[in-house]
Amino acid sequence: MTATMPGRGPRTAGVDAAEVLRRCKQAVTPALAAAVSRLDPASREQTAYHLGWTELDGSAGSGGGKAVRPALAVLSAEAAGADAATGLPGAVAVELVHNFSLLHDDLIDRDTERRHRPTVWAQWGPAAAILSGDALLALALEVLVEAPSPHGPEAARQLAATVRELVRGQVEDVAFERRTDVGVEECLAMAAGKTGSLLATSASIGAVLAGAPGPVTTALHTFGAEVGAAFQLVDDLLGIWGDPSVTGKPVLSDLRSRKKSLPVTYAVHHGGADGRELAAWLAGTGEPSEPELHRAAALVAAGGGRDWAAAEARRRMALAEKALAGAELPAGPLAELVGLGRYLTDREF
């Protein structure tokens, strides 16, 4: 949680994580494009737009996100001693599942913008987002059972179970919005479903496809789950104290929607008088004023939410690295996984 630049400095284990992401994305994109080309024309068009491959006018897009999950899948194949190609069907499948869930979640949350562009449901309507998401989910599992690896079906089984975990997390997220008594443990369990489960599967699916022994896939799975927890904690910190020029969101963004994120929930339950004042404010309605937002952020900090979340993120990242250290992985992929994990969780806030 230092103020180093992402992807630089000693905390990234000497690895240029941005370069690792670029290499993996370059390896995965053709296979992902081949999979997407099998969709019906409408779902294909909407998916290409959603992935940042095209703009609404049909021109070439900026290329979309960092593709963290496919990178983890490729690195996990390499960590199991296989080549990147062995992990490719897994990389494609986790990226398809990630985007299926974004398409549906944007509709569920009624988010009209993603990366400063209209979301698919906002542009084409709810039916388009539901149906193209459905097609991506089916396609993800299809890609795995078609994989040349004899372990494709096992990878498909694990990814399908992960989708049930994703759904559980999202169901809880929706339910929590209406509740005022959600505890820290429930909140962490929800995040484990919504964020951790797919990162855990991403970080192990390449090793599953490579037929790696149980302890190796388990270590990689734990690594991904703990990185996911740390990532969510840091993301929640950035949602309050992140630099708008870096996050692309307004100052104090999550407080504007009175979101009961992890640091907020901690402060409510463990922050004494500050927590009670914060809880009363969260129960309010209407557009909060700027002074109210700054007061709420101060209450989260005074109630211990900021320090707890930062410490918990560090603790989870240490658990992630400890899991890998015990698995006797080859040095190169090990360093790249650790570097990528730190890159994702070692952001300024």
β-strands 117-118, 113-114 pairing:
antiparallel
| 348 touches a second copy by CB under 8 A | no
| 141 touches a second copy by CB under 8 A | yes
Tell me if residue 54 falls in helix, strand or coil.
Answer: strand
Give 318-321's long-range contacts (Cβ < 8 A, gap of 24+).
319/222, 319/226, 320/222, 320/223, 320/224, 320/226, 320/227, 320/230, 321/223
Span interacting with a second copy, options 159-167, 247-255, 259-267, 310-318, rule CB under 8 A: 159-167
Q: How far is the CB of 157 from a second copy (least distance, A)?
A: 5
| 196 touches a second copy by CB under 8 A | no
Query: Site for a second copy (CB under 8 A): which residue of 175, 246, 273, 280?
Result: 175
| 167 touches a second copy by CB under 8 A | yes
Q: How far is the CB of 163 from a second copy (least distance, A)?
A: 4
Q: What share of the chain is helix, strand, coil (3-state, %, to 5)?
A: 70, 0, 25
| 33 touches a second copy by CB under 8 A | no
- Which residues is 118 bridged to in the sheet? 113
| 38 touches a second copy by CB under 8 A | yes
- Of residues 29 and 132, the one with the C-beta less far from a second copy: 132
Q: Positive or negative, the Cα torsion across 18, 19, 20, 23?
A: positive
What DSSP string runs through 220-239? HHHHHHHHHHHHHHHHHHHH
Return the H-helix or E-strand segment holding 87: helix 84-108
Q: Positive or negative, the Cα torsion across 297, 303, 307, 308?
A: negative
Q: Angle 214-241/184-191 helices, nearest 10 degrees?
A: 120
| 271 touches a second copy by CB under 8 A | no
Query: Site for a second copy (CB under 8 A): which residue of 5, 145, 273, 311?
Result: 145
Query: Site for a second copy (CB under 8 A): which residue of 31, 108, 282, 302?
Result: 108
Q: How far is the CB of 293 from a second copy (least distance, A)?
A: 27
| 154 touches a second copy by CB under 8 A | yes
| 146 touches a second copy by CB under 8 A | yes
Span interacting with a second copy, options 70-78, 162-170, 205-213, 286-294, rule CB under 8 A: 162-170
| 134 touches a second copy by CB under 8 A | yes
* Interface mask toward a second copy for 68-97; x: CB under 8 A: ------------------------------
> What gap in Å lies between CA 295 and CA 306, rounded to an integer?
14
Contacting residues for 1 by C-beta, under 8 A, at least 6 apart: 234, 310, 313, 314, 346, 349
| 133 touches a second copy by CB under 8 A | yes
Tell me if residue 89 falls in helix, strand or coil.
Answer: helix
Which residues of this protein are in contact with a second copy, per CB under 8 A? 38-40, 42-43, 100, 104, 107-108, 126-128, 130-135, 137-139, 141-142, 145-146, 152-154, 156-157, 160-161, 163-164, 167-168, 170-171, 174-175
